[in-house]
Chains A and B, each alone.
Chain A
């Protein structure tokens, strides 16, 4: 479903070229739950931006759902982001002014969907936010804000969900709640998830973990017991924020 072939990315700091990715080859199948790990500066954010069609690689080829998106122009990429990709960010990235329901409707607005209110209500309901639809971000807890962001990402039925440190701004318990949601979405609805994190505990929820270093993949391992954090006594299913 996702296929990266010899992807490189070079930034320019003044006249000095700074390579961020040096030849990435990666295939992600449908329904996979993959974590990308690596120290800061290893290129994991750059890789996620390219996967999310927010940025274009310098060389190499990116195929998504059979489309060669590395050849698309900016406006075409915007349409791909809208139709095929859902983002979940560390800092939630909700619009300050809007109530939850309108946050979730936003991607449908750009897609010109008619019954967006119903779809948005359903997405919020799926995430247990039925009683929070009229709340603005400032009236919601961190965990609730992140759930609104997940609802916004799921309302378009994306092929690929990209989560960039989704628990980074949350306390540990809430972070695990959010990870359980991802786990459930992956298990029950078969949604393909790519997660970027530097926390081993969080990466442990994924089925496959890719390690990056200096812009290259240094390891690619299957996780035999996903959802089990190495140093803890398990996923703490019942804990709430």
Chain B
């Protein structure tokens, strides 16, 4: 019998038992779609991490406050964040004479505030920083302009909106020139009016958060106007200083020399700050993605189990089918089917069930991955990236399962004695 006739015969047999055939496929469908989805999520989160690191800008060092002798009361006020860095530290690092490899320095203070404009309002991250921020973080204004040196000296009440914040507050109208009210403090009792001077380009999430959901204001404005951010010494602490270095090879030297400067300025022997490279930030990210690795393992288990159960189900159904069709096998043998013909007939049936299940599973898996991509599921933002390799792999696995679990029933069928088979009722 030719392979085309074998396939047609198998199709006929499967069509004669539609419900049974589709139920048999179910395990394979679930298994294959799980394989596709989990590989997509695995690849997507990897890609997401890489993109976020890259999204930070290039050749960056981050200086953050470290351990200090801060009192418990102080820790309570500032949510446990040690306050050891001040903006003066940043200005001292921005010294081309002493650190020729430093290309830009941007100190920043972040806090949560409520923005009101017209009838709309939103809670967002307010970042006080300096004009260098654009260049250092490789993140530019799209409309209007960014904070200028003049805004810094004047301590101007000007603001640059993140892409999403602008859309939330102003919709399609151009926010540049309009004013927003910023409410801070307990119950939002302190209110300032800021004039919008620019809107940032859309950027999406990076390793430090969602960069479309924020508002920039001049750092000195924040220090001067918002007293709750001052520490007991009356100084405004900064939460992070980003330093752009001209070359990756300078990282080690920069870390050492900037560290020495800060020790000297803070008049301490042990660092009360930490210097992180992008790689360090990546490692922190990796720790975060460990949660999704648990999820990944759970899905891999589901996929594996359902593929195995699906395969056993197929074997079971095929064995039943061979018994039911003993007489048919006898007739076929009597009119000249060889053992190979019968073996192929049942093997192709098993293969077609698993491969059809595999194909449906692929479609389902790709659909699920596409739906899940970019959404937040169980408080984790999910990235999914379906690769051709995953599709081919999952499909091949379903074919291999068909072969593996189909061969034994098919072999049984081929070995039936034609006379006994003909008299089977």
**Interface of A toward B, CB cutoff 8 Å:** 49, 52, 54-55, 74-75, 78-79, 81-83, 87, 89, 93-98, 106-107, 109-112, 152, 156
Contact = CB atoms under 8 A, between A and B. Distances in A.
A55 B418 CA distance: 8
A111 B336 contact: yes
Given A74-B339, A93-B330, 7 more contacts: A54-B334, A93-B331, A93-B334, A93-B422, A109-B9, A110-B1, A156-B336
Interface of B: 1-2, 5, 9, 12-13, 16, 327-328, 330-341, 418-419, 422
Contacts of A78: 333, 336-339, 341
A241 to B, nearest CB: 24
Nearest to A82: B336
A213 to B, nearest CB: 22
29 contacts: A49-B419, A54-B334, A54-B419, A74-B339, A75-B338, A78-B339, A79-B336, A81-B334, A81-B335, A81-B336, A82-B335, A82-B337, A83-B336, A87-B334, A93-B327, A93-B334, A94-B331, A95-B328, A97-B16, A98-B12, A107-B335, A107-B336, A109-B1, A109-B5, A110-B332, A110-B336, A110-B341, A112-B2, A156-B336
A111 B1 CA distance: 7
Contacts of A110: 1, 332, 335-338, 341
B12 A106 contact: no
A78 to B, nearest CB: 4
A109 B327 CA distance: 18
B335 to A, nearest CB: 4
Contacts of A95: 328, 331
A125 to B, nearest CB: 20
Contacts of B327: 93
A55 B419 contact: yes
Contacts of B5: 109
Contacts of A49: 419
A75 B335 contact: no
A47 to B, nearest CB: 13
Contact of B1 (A75, A94, A112): A112
Contacts of A152: 335
